[in-house]
Amino acid sequence: MLIKEIILGICGLGFGMMVAAGVFTVLFVVGLIPRFASKTNTARCEILYEEFIIAGTMLGCVASVFDFPFALGDAIMQLPPALYDILTNVLLSAIGIFTGIFVGCLALAIAELLDSIPIFARRAKLHGGFEVIVAAIALGKLIGAIIYFAWEFAM
């Protein structure tokens, strides 16, 4: 049993590193981290931001693989119902706001990056069919999400 846990831990850490590298690459390519650092006048902390993104992505991958006992969750459940509701609403609101800000900034950065598509199309000698390509990508994402969630909830 211990060997299985060790192997899962090594796999989780390795997969987390790969996902963190992919996330970091996307954020670096679209220039999101330097943009955040310049807008907040904290360019000196850019390396720290990058390290937090890598660590957070790796921890998220490990947390999705293993079931960790969450003592804070048990303590929160012991609160009076009114305080519990207030605390969870504040926490969920903060998470939603920060996630929305991040996703919005990422979407805008990717939209700016899409200006390079006409240059690529001209060099690859593509003269049309962009609507079909974008629709195929969107349809593939939709079908993949439906399959994933249908299978996940069925188990």
* 119-126: long-range pairs with CB below 8 Å, 24+: none
Does 87 reside within a domain?
no
Does 21 reside within a domain?
yes
E-strand spans in 22-145? Answer: none
Does 32 reside within a domain?
yes
Find the angle CA(86)-CA(89)-CA(60) to the nearest 5 degrees.
130
Find the angle CA(94)-CA(100)-CA(106) to the nearest 5 degrees.
140
pLDDT of residue 112: 65
Does 101 reside within a domain?
no
Q: What is the DSSP letter of 116?
A: G
Among candidate residues 50, 55, 57, 46, the one with its CA nearest the CA of residue 19: 57
pLDDT of residue 114: 66
* Stretches in the chain below the pLDDT threshold 50: none
pLDDT of residue 141: 79
Structurally, the chain folds into a number of domains equal to 1
E-strand spans in 1-155? Answer: none
Q: From residue 7, give the alpha-carbon distance in Å to each of 11, 13, 58.
A: 6, 10, 16
Does 139 reside within a domain?
no
pLDDT of residue 87: 84
pLDDT of residue 29: 75
How much is the mean pLDDT over the chain? 77
pLDDT of residue 139: 85
Does 92 reside within a domain?
no
Does 25 reside within a domain?
yes
Q: Within the chain, how many helices (H) and strands (E) appear?
A: 7, 0
Domain ranges, residue 3: 1-68
Does 152 reside within a domain?
no
State pLDDT tens for residues 78-117: 788 888 888 888 888 888 888 877 777 777 677 666 666 6
CA distance 78 to 73: 9
How is residue 41 written in tokens?
């006048």
